[in-house]
């Protein structure tokens, strides 16, 4: 299976952009310098400017002021009059709807995408795209005979067939039900793990971002509220995403062992470990999991005689208001791993919580990602 060539130096692969545009009732004003590898999630509520920014990057929307550079290549610069049209930008674009040609088979849809690239410049073969997305059994089908998840997998494979240096994905799972989302997510993880192509992934789903992203850009009303590594950014208390039922942290762990008697798996990470229902992965395999703030309670001493299995010693770092007056968010440090707890203000006062105070974090639920 043909793979892209060796990765370019990270310093030459940064994606630098500056876009400003104003419409009645909305303005986009962003200045970003993003990593040229991994998955960067453009995250925010509906109307925050995610799709508009993606369209600017693709050259489908021209801003009042614009500059876009991929490494040392300038694709757009309004001041100097540079504008590389969309069809000449080496990128793939996956929309919410698959938009396959209905009169062509899956194989011919893929071949159409590949035709955009001269044979000598092809870095991703059709065979590689087909294998990565698991669509070999679908090649002779017409689009009307595909499920929603299958159509989207074909659309992603067609985008890869153009051998893009940058892949743009605009909420590719938004039109799918939960079953189809769960069907396609493992394939998106394979793209992340096996292809050296940076991805800009638009989403308003915290769970998708937690599962797929390495880097997060939080947008609100056309402006960048925050950006940074996924784990650090999701643990912050000063961001709108931290308020509400979706507040929580993402933790990278390693499978450390299996308890066959109780059908449990131990996951180790800096600062401790958790036990989860038996996993099929081998010892040493890396797994990412999420702990919602609502699923963490606090105690001044290690609890005895409790059904809560996962107890971690931690230190309070800071407190902040939550989404309701009755609650507060507590940021904790568990041996270098950040945690968030959402507890009542009354409990915080009774526990006399303050920065530096040692506590026990009681994790009631762990959501495995992948």
Would you state the pLDDT for residue 243? 62
Q: pLDDT tens across 156-174, in order?
A: 999 998 889 999 999 999 8
Would you state the pLDDT for residue 241? 63
Would you state the pLDDT for residue 2? 34
Residue range 234-259: average pLDDT? 86
Cα–chain center distance at 51: 15
Higher pLDDT, 65 or 246: 65
Would you state the pLDDT for residue 6? 38
pLDDT confidence of 230, banded at 50, 70, 90? very high
What class is the 248-369 domain? mainly beta
pTM equals: 0.87
Residue range 195-199: average pLDDT? 89
The strand pairing partners of 201, in sequence order, are 41, 169
Weakest-pLDDT range from 233-242, 313-322, 356-365: 233-242
Average pLDDT, the chain: 90
User: Does residue 11 surpass a pLDDT of 50?
Assistant: no
Q: Beta strand 15-23 with 65-70: parallel, antiparallel or unpaired? A: antiparallel
How is residue 286 written in tokens? 């890396």
* For the ranges 6-15, 228-237, 258-267, the one whose mean pLDDT is highest: 258-267
Among the CATH numbers 3.40.50.300, 3.40.190.10, 1.10.1610.10, 3.30.70.20, which is that of 10-234? 3.40.50.300
Domain boundaries, given as residue ranges, for the chain: 10-234, 248-369
User: Does residue 357 surpass a pLDDT of 90?
Assistant: yes
Would you state the pLDDT for residue 46? 87
pLDDT confidence of 7, banded at 50, 70, 90? very low
Higher pLDDT, 242 or 71: 71
Would you state the pLDDT for residue 120? 67
Q: pLDDT tens across 281-331, in order?
A: 999 999 999 999 999 999 999 999 899 999 999 999 999 999 889 999 999
């Amino acid at each position: 299976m043909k793979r892209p060539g060796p990765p370019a130096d990270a310093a030459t692969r940064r994606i630098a952009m500056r876009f400003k545009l104003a419409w009645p009732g909305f303005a986009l004003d962003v200045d970003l310098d993003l990593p040229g590898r991994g998955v960067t999630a453009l995250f925010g509520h509906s109307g925050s400017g995610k799709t508009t920014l993606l369209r600017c990057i693709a050259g489908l929307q021209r801003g009042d002021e614009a500059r876009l550079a991929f490494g040392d290549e300038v694709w757009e610069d309004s001041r100097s009059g540079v504008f590389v049209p969309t069809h000449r930008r080496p990128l793939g674009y996956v929309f919410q709807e698959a938009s396959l040609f209905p009169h062509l088979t899956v194989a011919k849809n893929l071949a159409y995408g590949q035709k955009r690239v001269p044979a000598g410049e092809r870095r991703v073969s059709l065979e590689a795209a087909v294998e990565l997305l698991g669509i070999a059994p679908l090649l002779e089908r017409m689009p009307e005979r595909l499920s929603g998840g299958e159509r989207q997998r074909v659309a992603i494979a067609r985008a890869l067939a153009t051998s893009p240096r940058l892949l743009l994905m605009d909420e590719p799972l938004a039109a799918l039900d939960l079953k189809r989302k769960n069907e396609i997510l493992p394939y998106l993880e394979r793209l992340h793990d096996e292809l050296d192509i940076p991805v800009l992934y638009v989403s308003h789903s915290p769970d998708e971002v937690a599962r797929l992203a390495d880097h997060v850009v939080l947008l609100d009303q056309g402006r960048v509220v925050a950006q940074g590594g996924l784990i650090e950014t999701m643990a912050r208390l000063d961001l709108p995403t931290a308020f509400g039922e979706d507040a929580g942290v993402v933790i990278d762990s390693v499978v450390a062992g299996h308890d066959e008697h109780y059908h449990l798996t131990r996951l180790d990470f800096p600062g401790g470990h958790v036990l989860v229902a038996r996993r099929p992965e081998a010892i040493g395999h890396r797994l990412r999991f999420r702990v919602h703030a609502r699923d963490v309670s606090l105690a001044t001493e290690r609890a005895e005689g409790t059904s809560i299995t996962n107890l971690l010693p931690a230190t309070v770092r800071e407190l902040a208001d939550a989404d309701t007056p009755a609650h507060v968010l507590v940021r904790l440090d568990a041996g270098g791993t950040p945690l968030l707890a959402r507890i009542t203000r009354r409990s915080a006062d009774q526990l006399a919580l303050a920065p530096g105070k040692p506590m026990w974090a009681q994790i009631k639920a762990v959501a495995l990602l992948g």
